[in-house]
Structure 1
């Protein structure tokens, strides 16, 4: 069996104890190797018990009233909101609760005042929920530009980004959107680009969903106008709640195109007029998830009890160990089994690793094959394009011309149709580590690959 036991990791005893108490279901009679933390974090047993008791022992009502059950729900929601603001050191921000990070991004897209003079700059490395904002920009006749990342390490092409941001500096309502950490490659893009964009008159949208589960985000140190977050990616439960942090100085720049229950101070049917609430409630349409939002405070306190820096350090060392073992896998003729995409420097990458696998003759192994063999051994990984077409197109050397020709030739299509048309493979395999990952999990994954490829 592969041996990662010699890997030097601080606080190993602490995390082993955490695994055996909070995540012992992973090591039950039917053990599970979970390596999809970027897809969704695992909830701690104590958090579920605490929230279960909360539900059993309280009476909670719709917060839009002053009755006793409504008042307690309102109080608990505001407690959770205050906790989010303190956790991210975000006193200068409004915290808007949303259904998920995608819902947060939609608020920015539909409310940002794009116009014909606007310039919307995005990295090629963005989740589709960020990419979708381009439709709002286009519909308002704004200009759109994607900035490439480098094929060699999937990091920002500095020269290209500087050129894109500079050529339309101070031109109007300009927006720059990028992820603090790639949901595919794990690359941690430098947050220094926030200030660089500010100096050129841009507002900045920071997608922090993949970053904050294992890294500290201090909004007193960096000041993006908009930050999107998903809570289940941080501590597993509850799902269905995210937040949008809006810098107070730009709050009124957002032009909400409609209103809903809970978002207005006054509305009339007799007169076609309304007044929107002048705080976070403006963007919290309808009734909030008042039974689950209180669990956010518990989840953030749980992460604080462990320490985000401690989590970050552990993930860094696990990533170093796994990359080292993957790079050692070779066929008998010397052909590498694995190609890892992204930087070699683990200081600029998080705990997700994206890769392709190869046969001894150099032919690529379909990612579906790796999915199947992992599933047979009760190992959860993730394969495909990960809702991030930019990174997939770069990794698989798919050109702008090829994609343009494909879309021009069809009124509709899907993944399999596109692969057939292009004659190229798409997709990859992603392994991501998190708070409950152990070296044994990684050893079992490596041994799975050794057995499949008949490696000694």
Structure 2
């Protein structure tokens, strides 16, 4: 087997694979390809290049024509447009531009429309994480099938990893932190250029048990990792590697806010220096788990999230993968909260009218079903009953000291432990009988499809990455060509934080809008006005920034409130693109932001909504 090139650990291989034979940069060196891509992107707009009035920007059709001339391969990704048209019609019917969250959608809107269903519900539970992943038995039937599908989608082997579901991504981080032995492996090292609830929960859990938490630093304004500092943090925490583990290294590979991509090198360096590595894949796009580096560097833990339907309320759940060979790390953990079971919504099955065959790019999972009046199966009823009994058990355990709990878990000889094991075994037997009984009494068999994941699989990594790369770089370039009028220096309307036009940037853009005097427009105001134009954006806070000189520090402090330092972070507007995003989406966002070139735009919006609603609207 040929060893991967050194560049592969900078995520170069996936991007090189994305190039088509007629891409101008595909036949050249890496350096030349990046230069050519930037030059090509610059030609994707009207030759006028700079726009000082929102009425001067070219119309949608002309902009699309210019864009496809610069990126002739973009039309080859129209399979994604067809999927959007047939399976996600609500985006067109509601004229909705959805750019406010990432993750992986399980189902399509067509499924929801046909069945008028919420697809699934979650049931909270409090358990010992180690016993759950080693002796937990089977969960609900739907959950078992869901796990199998997620393992395939994430390109992870169920023989190598255990998977538990949590209520959300933040709780996946908290569950891991609460179970991790910070009492002995005292260090927590995180690599995030933004405020993250899950990371904050980890830091709190670490410090509560006398651990030490350190963040990586990022340089202003490109938001690149400060390599020397991070290398020092990874290598200097523990002088005696043989006697003691360093701690937990939490690494995202890609910023969820700025789109900055980081090298696999940091994961390898951390593993070599005795760190347990948690890969946060929450910012990954569809099929990103198929990249070469991840097949070579398997992390000890992995976190990601899934939601129901793209363009709808992004409710869903979080996933925590634990490498089976490293499960002993959580062996002495106490009972954790935040884990969930996932079950079919009562009386609302996700069944298709006809059985469908299994073909390439589509995974169909078989499941027996009964009539809708009997959907609340014996299995779910038993889970609900057991939930109450487990809560009673946990109340008993809470009365014991932490030392006693640890000893009980280690020895597994107490009456309570035996009772939990007995109860689990009985429940598994009951559920198995219920499945057999349901299969024998029901003559109908239906299929469950996770059509949202199937769509991503059918498109594949190359098409998705190519499409999103063109769109995000067009948007970055378009933002850069909006300039305030009557300004000698050509004051830019938009300031982007993180990478600009790059071949390998992530599908996320964080930015702020500035008025003609150079003062920042409140990001929450931009978000709110975008919502009124049916464009959904999100909000984030940049953190852990370091300054190379005094002028840089003065610059960023001018962007925050006078009474606040940058320690509290820099609020920004955030845009996230996915494989269902199309050119009209990014064009409409650009056209909306260009409205801020009008010095009176905000005031006009205020009066507009006053006249419509006959009341004063605070914006």
Q: TM-score range by the shorter chain?
A: 0.7 to 0.9
Residue 35 of structure 1 corresponds to which residue in structure 2? 99
- Structure with greater proportional helix content: 2
Residue 110 of structure 2 corresponds to which residue in structure 1? 46
The 1:85–1:371 alpha-carbon spacing in structure 2 relative to 1, beyond 3 Å, is closer
Residue 258 of structure 1 corresponds to which residue in structure 2? 335
Measure, in 2, the Cα distance between the counterparts of 1:118 and 1:190.
25
The 1:159–1:351 alpha-carbon spacing in structure 2 relative to 1, beyond 3 Å, is same
C-alpha displacement of 1:52: 5.5
SS at 2:513 equivalent = strand
Measure, in 1, the Cα distance between the counterparts of 2:162 and 2:186.
25
Residue 64 of structure 2 corresponds to which residue in structure 1? 4
The 1:82–1:33 alpha-carbon spacing in structure 2 relative to 1, beyond 3 Å, is closer
Q: Contact 1:120–1:143 at 8 Å: present in 2 too?
A: yes
Q: Does 1:320 pair with 2:388? A: no
Measure, in 2, the Cα distance between the counterparts of 1:236 and 1:446.
19
The 1:239–1:117 alpha-carbon spacing in structure 2 relative to 1, beyond 3 Å, is closer
Measure, in 2, the Cα distance between the counterparts of 1:18 and 1:224.
33
Residue 176 of structure 2 corresponds to which residue in structure 1? 108
Q: Does 1:422 pair with 2:578? A: no
Residue 88 of structure 1 corresponds to which residue in structure 2? 154
Q: Contact 2:304–2:320 at 8 Å: present in 1 too?
A: yes
SS at 1:4 equivalent = helix
Residue 607 of structure 2 corresponds to which residue in structure 1? none
Q: Does 1:454 pair with 2:598? A: yes
Name the count of aligned residue pairs.
407
Measure, in 2, the Cα distance between the counterparts of 1:42 and 1:31.
22
TM-score (norm 1): 0.77
Q: Contact 2:87–2:110 at 8 Å: present in 1 too?
A: yes
Q: Contact 2:185–2:248 at 8 Å: present in 1 too?
A: no
Q: Contact 2:186–2:211 at 8 Å: present in 1 too?
A: yes
Gaps of 5+ in 2: 1-57, 125-136, 338-385, 397-412, 426-430, 432-446, 600-619
Residue 443 of structure 1 corresponds to which residue in structure 2? 587
Q: Contact 1:119–1:173 at 8 Å: present in 2 too?
A: yes
SS at 1:135 equivalent = helix
Q: Contact 1:185–1:341 at 8 Å: present in 2 too?
A: yes
1:191-202 matches, cutoff 5 A: 191-202=264-275
C-alpha displacement of 1:236: 6.7
CA RMSD across the alignment: 4.0
The 1:32–1:236 alpha-carbon spacing in structure 2 relative to 1, beyond 3 Å, is closer
Measure, in 1, the Cα distance between the counterparts of 2:76 and 2:113.
26
SS at 2:589 equivalent = helix
Residue 152 of structure 1 corresponds to which residue in structure 2? 221
SS at 2:296 equivalent = coil
Pick one of 307, 324, 336 that aligns with 1:232: 307
Q: Contact 1:116–1:141 at 8 Å: present in 2 too?
A: no
The 1:298–1:39 alpha-carbon spacing in structure 2 relative to 1, beyond 3 Å, is closer
Measure, in 2, the Cα distance between the counterparts of 1:39 and 1:217.
15
Measure, in 2, the Cα distance between the counterparts of 1:153 and 1:42.
34
Q: Does 1:188 pair with 2:261? A: yes
Task: Tell which structure's C-alpha radius of gyration is larger.
Answer: 2
Residue 19 of structure 1 corresponds to which residue in structure 2? 84
The 1:22–1:351 alpha-carbon spacing in structure 2 relative to 1, beyond 3 Å, is same
1:376-415 matches, cutoff 5 A: 376-385=532-541, 389-390=543-544
Q: Does 1:222 pair with 2:297? A: yes
TM-score (norm 2): 0.58
Residue 274 of structure 1 corresponds to which residue in structure 2? 417
Q: Which moved more, 1:1-10 or 1:439-448?
A: 1-10
Residue 408 of structure 1 corresponds to which residue in structure 2? none
The 1:372–1:111 alpha-carbon spacing in structure 2 relative to 1, beyond 3 Å, is closer
Measure, in 2, the Cα distance between the counterparts of 1:98 and 1:107.
8
SS at 2:316 equivalent = coil
Pick one of 286, 302, 317 that aligns with 2:455: 302
Gaps of 5+ in 1: 63-70, 282-286, 288-293, 403-417
Q: Which moved more, 1:87-96 or 1:242-251?
A: 87-96
Q: Spell out, residue by residue over 1:290-328, the C-alpha distance to the aligned partner (whole angstroms, 9 max, x if none).
A: xxxx97844322321222332222111101111111111
Residue 375 of structure 1 corresponds to which residue in structure 2? 531
The 1:108–1:296 alpha-carbon spacing in structure 2 relative to 1, beyond 3 Å, is farther
Q: Contact 2:543–2:570 at 8 Å: present in 1 too?
A: no
Q: Does 1:135 pair with 2:291? A: no
Measure, in 2, the Cα distance between the counterparts of 1:161 and 1:419.
29
Q: Spell out, residue by residue over 1:396-427, the C-alpha distance to the aligned partner (whole angstroms, 9 max, x if none).
A: 9789xx9xxxxxxxxxxxxxxx9463278941
Residue 517 of structure 2 corresponds to which residue in structure 1? 361
SS at 2:210 equivalent = coil
Residue 413 of structure 1 corresponds to which residue in structure 2? none
